[in-house]
Amino acid sequence: MTRPLKLGFLASRNGTSFRAIVEACAAGQLEAEPRLLVTNTGKAEALEYARGRGLACRVIPTAADAQAADQALCDALSGADVDLVILSGYLRRLGPVTLSRFRNRVLNIHPGPLPEFGGEGMYGRRVHEAVIASGITETCATIHLVDEIYDHGAVIERAVVGVLSEDTAVTLEARVAEIEPKAYVAVLSRIISGDLTLPD
């Protein structure tokens, strides 16, 4: 991939990993250039952060017309000339136009093991509740490629977190959330260095 790697971001809320990646770029830890943030709601806290750093932003609602939103999202990302699309708490399924244009170039992070604890409706605290109920002793944040099915694309990296006997969904969620931004930055660093090659 070209360097600096040009990044587009999708976020629906706070965009914690988005912020960490932008800060890693600013600090010179990543040879990458944030180009665009797209949200599906004007209420996303990530917007204020992005605007404060001079990053281009677009709000593209998806509820009224998913097909038009898909085309608008693809056009926005293409217009920003991004190499890689990073999902950071983006709570909408990507459409076929965007996925075709950015095939194997869209990354997401999921707060649990995949495929066992993924799929439609498995997000946020629900994942951690299911992990604890299962009795497994290790969970992870999973970075994966995005395709047409929720949490289905090829797994790129797993950042492992132990499940403690005293854990609740709240405490486990906090520990997994703490490692997610670091895991994302580490994966991007490996992609940029050539240590990790995404499929064509």
Q: For each successive 10 residues of the chain (200 residues), what is the average pLDDT?
A: 89 96 98 98 96 97 93 98 97 94 97 94 94 98 94 94 98 98 98 94
CATH number assigned to the domain with residue range 5-110+142-158+181-193, chosen from the 4 options 3.50.50.60, 3.30.70.1560, 3.40.50.170, 3.40.50.300: 3.40.50.170
What confidence score (pLDDT) does residue 120 get? Answer: 85
Q: Dig out the tokens for 188 from the structure.
A: 């991007």
Q: Dig out the tokens for 102 from the structure.
A: 């950015």
Q: Catalytic annotation on 110?
A: yes
Given 110, 128, 144, 152, the catalytic residue: 110
Could you tell me if 77 and 8 are in contact, meaning their C-beta atoms sit under 8 angstroms apart?
yes
CA distances from 33 to 2, 24, 63, 83 (A): 11, 10, 30, 10
For the entire predicted model, the pTM comes to: 0.94
* Cα atoms in the 13 Å half-sphere on the side-chain side of 177: 15
Residues with Cβ < 8 Å from 167, sequence gap 6 or more? 132
What confidence score (pLDDT) does residue 180 get? Answer: 97
CA distance 54 to 96: 30
Element holding 190 (H helix, E strand): helix 169-193
What confidence score (pLDDT) does residue 24 get? Answer: 98
What confidence score (pLDDT) does residue 149 get? Answer: 87
| Ranges of each domain in the chain | 5-110+142-158+181-193
What confidence score (pLDDT) does residue 188 get? Answer: 98
CA atoms 73, 28, 175, 45: torsion sign: negative
What confidence score (pLDDT) does residue 121 get? Answer: 86
CA distances from 51 to 44, 45, 73 (A): 12, 11, 19
